[in-house]
Chains A and B, each alone.
Chain A
């Protein structure tokens, strides 16, 4: 038993730590840029300023990391359920203790002028709990009851956080489905989920936007129906027996859709969505016939997918536009981040894109960005921090940040797969899934590609709670990984 002779520092994965420290350093530079006040001027190290405070958060986060690394991973594992139950209790009481902060009830005053957001710390507890559950019961997530049981663990905090009016933070927990997929959940569930969200978001967001110049065709309807055709064709590609079936279905449909678009644009404007609907009907008939002809049930399921997708889109559309009252519609859209717009249509997103676009290849230079510092961009040092990177560091800086995140996530996949125990692997996948979700939504929202959902960019956005939360999440995993390496040395 010379396990303890091998120092934790030797078995730690320093590559990940390097990514972590690099991201935090770049994040601090961005916070300096975003929070710099022309009026006050002042030092970026001043503790009264946001950049000074962030420096303090970073220092404490590093201390926290060291503390986590010095705790035996088995102790952490054994405390998984306790952490979870404790955190859920905290989440439950938070709305009652919290003061209203911009409509959110998620911040608890801890004295000394500091506030903590428990939702940020619920992530690691939930991840530990799910990992422990799956490991402990040797769950197979390809089976529905077990999947539901595991899902309950992260659906509970979701619900609690929604009650704090922090929908964005709640949505983060859907990232756990990525881990579920790795652990055996059917790919079609993930696919169906992604497809449904895509239909809903695209359909709702572009419902009223005219498509390609014409007034008859609405972008939302046209795009969603076209997407259903593409998804249906892709399913045929993956599950079909003969490639030529795919080519026939996909390209003939595509040809008709493109012709309808051109005709509507150049000859006579009409609602091209009807033609896409016809294409879908043809898809369904073709696939049904195919399933009878070749006696393959899978084709029938694909036809069913197309049918259900179309039905889903129209029923959501009907509920949104006809059943709900206008103020309820607005509420749903705000909930989805589709309408978070104090100054009218798309102001925030447009200003964010101006900020990023104005950076060019090399950016304007440190502390030289105007869009972010003069508050044209909302939440410029928290949720929209990536704008500062774009404006001051340019395309090169943005790519560097994205590549660092990519490297971190890929590294975490490698580390997770190296774990001998299900517990470590599941936890690792939870961690990387959460990072991936934050990256996807946060950067996508700033670039105008995903809905505006207010969640921070890990290690970049200003704030102690999120930085501590992400540090805990990551370093618990690094501690497990270090433990694994030490046991290998035995």
Chain B
């Protein structure tokens, strides 16, 4: 062993030490940069590792006012596939069990793998193969599932409808569209959302709150358990149940009566503003808008010339015809244009300065009550003429028009009432500016005389007409009509609990009520008379430039302590007394008595069988 120490190069130890210190210093600077000065590494690591799995809450059930179940959830099955594991599957046998053909299978598999159509694709995770199989469709496949490695089943829920009624009110549920996702961050691709009716309007209450599991996902996309033992997971909150104000039996009868006809029936409980039934015809079975066939059926319905998807009760804007005369009488009385005893002449109509509005034969001159009972056109034309020509009260015709419009608006016309359903139309109540534009300022009461009898520019929705009935039944107020009576654990919107008063005093309503009563006892609505309770009514026969007149009826019963106010509107039904009155009478009987008498049932069947729509027969 050598004895001496070599000192020649000893100072080189400093170089090596400096190199070591230098490397460690550079690495510490790099760590400083990576760990303390770069922000997004944490987020990148989290997005790598955390898989936020959604847990869908059960959607709330919907019941009618008596607690009868209308809409509930039924299990459905999505079939999922993991591409990496599905090798060696007997494709033909699987197609047979699922009731699909081989071409569809090949197409679907290609779609799943296409990164443009399926951006989140991974070979290692479950991909949606078929969605929303019903229990029946699925049962055959379930038994053989073990034959098909790589295929999995995910349980979801679809809506099920107890009775084939109320499609327009209930609405349906479908996959969210891009717009919904954009406007509400709650939604993700593949979520369901209410599309129409109550399902859409009360989406927030019905849907509940999605839960979330934070799972750990490894580099190949496989799930490795809950993050921190599920400490940050959220349980889903089930949707709230709804109780509708709809009476399912009344709704069912209404839909029967309107079979083969276009139009609408709306009934309201006057005291509460609760809508008892809302029939829009033609309608469809809500059960066809569920699951896998929804898209196809939705398309068929939207292409139907009779527009079954249109909820005519709130979207149909019709001339109210003579039902509107009640509102005119109230306005004229309140404004002092007429008194209850004022009588106007009628010689088969209103004739003035070469203008004629026809009327039918009845005694003349008439005061208010019989004018309503017989639905005299001339009386209301005179009233409007006198109001719009009254220069003591109104400085100009525009002034009078504005006053008139204010009355109409106070009765719930001209604007959407605010029913708790999407798509409500406002109808049309013209104002002075409208006529100034239309007639370049040169117009008078005579020019627009037809608005006094619910024709001309005036249009209302059946809901607004029914609400007019409720207002008269209440003698001067209404509560905004609504279809939802009760939301689980949540108060109803104050809008649906507050009275809205019209500009007309209660005492004037009594004359109109009396007129409507006389219409039933000895006027246009005689067929609605019954010994069980006192019915008040007003017919309407709305002139229709496109075809046969529309048949309308507005009424309520019993006269004192009214339980139901109703509007029946049958397109091309001719006289109000032809369809409107008898249908209205049957509906009142059903609601007030809880059933139809034998003779009424017979009549109901005959109305059910009378079709107005020219069916594409042989179908």
| Residues of A that sit less than 8 Å from B by CB | 37-39, 77, 135, 138, 178, 181-184, 187, 351, 353-361, 368, 370-371, 373-376, 390-391, 394-395, 398-399, 402-403, 405-406, 409-410, 413, 416-417, 419-423, 425, 429, 432, 436, 439-440, 443-444, 447-449
User: Would A417 and B34 be within 8 Å (CB), given that A39-B225, A355-B45, A374-B224 are in contact?
Assistant: no
Number of A-B contacts (CB under 8 A): 150
Distance between Cα atoms of A421 and B9 in the complex (Å):
14
User: Would A361 and B36 be within 8 Å (CB), given that A370-B45, A399-B28 are in contact?
Assistant: yes
Query: Are A354 and B44 neighbours in the complex by a CB distance under 8 Å?
Result: yes
Q: How far is the CB of A441 from chain B (nearest CB, A)?
A: 10
User: Would A354 and B45 be within 8 Å (CB), given that A395-B36, A406-B24, A420-B3 are in contact?
Assistant: yes
**B393 at the A interface (CB under 8 A):** no
Distance between Cα atoms of A449 and B23 in the complex (Å):
11
Query: Are A447 and B9 neighbours in the complex by a CB distance under 8 Å?
Result: no
Q: How far is the CB of A378 from chain B (nearest CB, A)?
A: 9
Contact of B5 among A37, A138, A371, A420 (CB under 8 A): A420
| Residues of B that sit less than 8 Å from A by CB | 1-3, 5-6, 8-10, 12-13, 15-17, 19-21, 23-24, 26-28, 30-32, 34-36, 38, 41-42, 44-46, 48-50, 216-220, 224-225, 228
Q: Which residue of A lies closest to B40 (CB)?
A: A357
SS of B interface (majority):
helix
Distance between Cα atoms of A373 and B228 in the complex (Å):
13
Q: Which residues from B are CB-within-8-Å of A395?
A: 31-32, 35-36
Query: Are A413 and B17 neighbours in the complex by a CB distance under 8 Å?
Result: yes
User: Would A409 and B35 be within 8 Å (CB), given that A135-B2, A181-B12, A370-B216 are in contact?
Assistant: no
Q: Which of A376, A432, A439, A443: most chain B CB closer than 10 A? A: A376
Q: How far is the CB of B220 from chain A (nearest CB, A)?
A: 8
Distance between Cα atoms of A130 and B228 in the complex (Å):
53
Query: Are A375 and B41 neighbours in the complex by a CB distance under 8 Å?
Result: no
Q: Which 5 A-B pairs have the closest CB atoms?
A: A357-B41, A370-B49, A358-B45, A38-B224, A374-B218
Q: Which residues from A are CB-within-8-Å of B8?
A: 184
User: Would A421 and B13 be within 8 Å (CB), given that A371-B49, A374-B216, A375-B219 are in contact?
Assistant: no
Distance between Cα atoms of A284 and B224 in the complex (Å):
62
Distance between Cα atoms of A370 and B217 in the complex (Å):
9
User: Would A403 and B24 be within 8 Å (CB), given that A354-B45, A360-B42, A374-B49 are in contact?
Assistant: yes
Q: Which residues from B are CB-within-8-Å of A183?
A: 6, 9
Query: Are A181 and B16 neighbours in the complex by a CB distance under 8 Å?
Result: yes
Q: Which residues from B are CB-within-8-Å of A436?
A: 16, 19-20, 23
Q: Which residue of B lies closest to A363 (CB)?
A: B35
Q: How far is the CB of A286 from chain B (nearest CB, A)?
A: 28
Q: Which residue of A lies closest to B12 (CB)?
A: A182
SS of A interface (majority):
helix
User: Would A360 and B35 be within 8 Å (CB), given that A138-B2, A406-B24 are in contact?
Assistant: yes
Query: Are A370 and B46 neighbours in the complex by a CB distance under 8 Å?
Result: yes
Q: How far is the CB of B8 from chain A (nearest CB, A)?
A: 7
Q: Which residues from B are CB-within-8-Å of A370?
A: 45-46, 48-50, 216
Q: Which residue of B lies closest to A418 (CB)?
A: B5
Query: Are B16 and A182 neighbours in the complex by a CB distance under 8 Å?
Result: yes
Q: Which residues from A are CB-within-8-Å of B30?
A: 447-449
List 16 other contacts, CB 8 Å, given A353-B34, A413-B17, A422-B6.
A38-B225, A181-B15, A354-B48, A358-B41, A359-B35, A370-B46, A374-B216, A374-B218, A376-B218, A376-B219, A395-B35, A399-B28, A409-B20, A416-B13, A417-B10, A420-B3
Query: Are A376 and B2 neighbours in the complex by a CB distance under 8 Å?
Result: no
Query: Are B2 and A357 neighbours in the complex by a CB distance under 8 Å?
Result: no
Q: Which residues from A are CB-within-8-Å of B26?
A: 449
Q: Which residue of A lies closest to B8 (CB)?
A: A184
Q: How far is the CB of B456 from chain A (nearest CB, A)?
A: 71
Query: Are A402 and B27 neighbours in the complex by a CB distance under 8 Å?
Result: yes
The 6 sampled A-B contact pairs (Cβ below 8 Å) are A360-B42, A376-B45, A420-B5, A422-B5, A436-B16, A449-B30
Query: Are A399 and B16 neighbours in the complex by a CB distance under 8 Å?
Result: no
User: Would A440 and B34 be within 8 Å (CB), given that A135-B2, A371-B45, A376-B49 are in contact?
Assistant: no
Distance between Cα atoms of A374 and B218 in the complex (Å):
4
Q: How far is the CB of A46 from chain B (nearest CB, A)?
A: 18
Q: Which residues from A are CB-within-8-Å of B219?
A: 351, 374-376
Q: How far is the CB of A193 from chain B (nearest CB, A)?
A: 13
Q: Which residues from A are CB-within-8-Å of B50?
A: 370
Q: Which residues from A are CB-within-8-Å of B24?
A: 402-403, 405-406
Query: Are B27 and A447 neighbours in the complex by a CB distance under 8 Å?
Result: yes
Query: Are B216 and A399 neighbours in the complex by a CB distance under 8 Å?
Result: no
Distance between Cα atoms of A359 and B5 in the complex (Å):
47
Distance between Cα atoms of A443 and B31 in the complex (Å):
10
Distance between Cα atoms of A184 and B27 in the complex (Å):
29
User: Would A376 and B48 be within 8 Å (CB), given that A402-B27, A443-B27 are in contact?
Assistant: yes
